[in-house]
Amino acid sequence: METVAFISTENGDDLIVSFAAIDPADPTGIESLTLLRTPKYEHLLGDRERGVSVSFKRYVEDDEELLEELHLDRKSAVVRLTTSVRTYELDLRKVDEREVQAMRKVLARMNYDRRIRLLGI
């Protein structure tokens, strides 16, 4: 499980949720796990390429990783991301509640076409 220090979001042409995961090899280091969707230009992509792309600095060798499901367990403050390639578990206990609320809003906008399964949002 990855411990998240903070979450940053963007809610413009690009819809972005970026989790700042604490690097297990260096507790002072941060690795970004980023969810990105750009609805404005998505019509230019093929159907299989559309959706929320996922990137994590630790796994740069992977080409296209798309988000399939996100489950937020508010009680335990854990987010489970299931992608086309792997599953991530994120511990949000260190994250400010305002950042979690902003994340929830952006995720709802990202899912305008219901391509991803959102649970607990």
**How many Cα neighbours within 13 Å face the side chain of 46?**
3
Tell me what pLDDT residue 49 has. 79
pTM for the model stands at 0.90
- Which residue range forms the structural domain that includes residue 98? 2-119
Q: How many domains does the chain have?
A: 1
In sequence order, which residues have a C-beta less than 8 Å from that of residue 82 and are 6 or more positions away?
A: 67, 68, 69, 70, 71
Tens-digit pLDDT string for the chain (121 aa): 999 999 999 999 999 999 999 988 887 889 999 999 998 887 777 778 789 999 997 776 666 899 999 999 999 999 999 998 999 999 999 999 999 999 999 999 999 999 999 999 8
In sequence order, which residues have a C-beta less than 8 Å from that of residue 91 and are 6 or more positions away?
A: 1, 2, 3, 4, 77, 78
Cα separation, 6 vs 32, in Å, equals 10
